[in-house]
Structure 1
Amino acid sequence: MLHIHQQAFHLLICTYTGGENVLKRMTIIGVILSFRSMAQDCLKEVLNKHCPYLIGPIECLRDFISPETDIKVTLSVFELASAAGFPCDIDPALVAAIRNMQTDNTSVDEEYKLSCLLLVYVAVSLPTLALDPNSFYSREHGGHNNNIHCLATAINQLAAAMFTVQNKNIEQHLKEFLLLASSTLLQLGQNVERMESKNRESVYLLLHLIVEESPFLSQDMLESCFPYVLLRNAYREVYRSFIVTLG
C-alpha cells in the first residue's frame, strides 16, 4: 500500500494554477485513501472471522496508545494495526511516504510552512465548490456527486501525517483549519445571488463531515465557530431536495 500513498501525495504536489486544481487533487487523494479504507475493512472482517485470537490483542494494543505515547512507539503500533485492517488516527504508510520524499536538502521550516499554506489554501478554496452543479449532496448515495466528501478523508489524513513528520501539534493545526474554513463558508452564506452558490448547503455538510471523520476535532469545536442552525437547515434543505426529486 505504500506506493499508493506515494502516488497520491505526488498528485498533490504537481504544478497547479488555482484553488480548483488543488481541490481536485485533494479529492483524488481522498478517493484513493477512502478506497484503501474500504479494503482494510474487508481485511479486518476476514481476519476477525478466521483468527479472532490474533485480532483481539492487536485492537487492545492500538486502543492503549495515547497522545502522550512516544511517536515511534505509536507509529509502530499503528503500522501493526493498519496491517490488520484497523483504522488509525495517524496513517503510518502515509507518514512513511512523506518522509521518503524528503532529501538532505529539504528545509524542515520550509516544509512546515508549505504544509500550513496547503491547509490555508484548501480552506479558502472551499466556497468555490458551491459553484459546481455536481457538488450536490446525494442522500441516496450518502455523498456528493463529484466525490468531494472524500476531501474530509484527505484533509484529516494528510494533516495528521504531515504534522507527524514535522513533529507539530496536529490538533492545533486542524483547529486553525476549521476556524478558517468556517469563516470562508460563512461568507459564502452572505451571497445574495443564490443561483451563484446553489449548492452551498451541500458544501456546509462537507465541513460537518470533516469534523465527523477527524479523531482530533469535535462537534463542540465546530459549533464554536460555525452556527449549528446552518448545518441543521443544510441537512433539511438537502433532504427536501431529495424528496422533491423522487416526486
Structure 2
Amino acid sequence: MKVTTIGFDADDTLWHNERFFVLTQDRFADLLSDYTDREMLDQRLLESEKRNIGHYGYGIKGFMLSMIETAIDVTDSRVPASVIRQILEIGQDMLRHPIELLPHARDAVEAMARSNRKVLLITKGDLLDQERKLTESGLWECFDRVEIVSEKSAEVFDRIFSEHGDGPDKALMVGNSMKSDVLPAIAAGAWGVHVPFHLAWALEAADAPDGHARFRVLEHLGELPNLVEGLG
C-alpha cells in the first residue's frame, strides 16, 4: 500500500464544533452590548485568543478565559460580576453540548478501520473535553491510537506517523483546517487532504498548497474511501 496510515482531525471534521463557538460569541456580544460595538468586541476577543493560546492552549476553557479577559478590557475593569458569571455559564453550556457527527463521518472512519490500515485520531484542544466528545461520538474503538496534542506541526506529525505507522511518507491526514491539518502534514511528508467546513476560525486561515503532489481536496468525507483506494 502507498497509504498504510490514516489520520483524522476531530473538530469540524468528524463532528460540529465551530458553530457552537459562533453561537456563544453572539451571546457574549449581547452581554457586552452596552459597553462596545460588535465589530470592536470581536476584534478584541480574537486578539485575546491569539495572545492566550500559548497560556491556555486550544479549546473551550481557553475561550472562556479569553472572553472574561476581553470583558474586563472593554469595560475598563467595570464589568459586573453578574456578567462574568453569565460568561462562565455559557462556556459551561458549550462543555455540556451533545456531540453531533457530520455527514459521512461514521461511515468514513469505519471504512478506514476495515481497510487493514492504521487509523489515528490527531486533534488539538482540551484533554477532558476532547475525550468526552470522542466517547460520545461512539467512534473511539475505530481508532488504533488517539493523540490529543497542544499543537499540530510537521514535527508532531512526523513523530506520530513514525511511532504508530510506517512513517509520514505512507500516511494521510484528513481535516478541515488548512493551517493545522493539511500544511504541516504535507511538510512532514504525508498526504494532506482538505475537507472544507463552511465555518472557520480566523486563526486557522492559511493558503492552500495548490499544485502540490500530495495535496487533495474532498467535498465531504464520503469521498475518502475512494481517494485512499486510488492512492493505493
Q: TM-score, normalized by length of structure 1? A: 0.32
Q: Which has the higher contact order (CA 8 A, sep 6+)?
A: 2
Q: TM-score, normalized by length of structure 2? A: 0.33
The structure with more helix, counted as a fraction of residues: 1
The structure with more strand, counted as a fraction of residues: 2
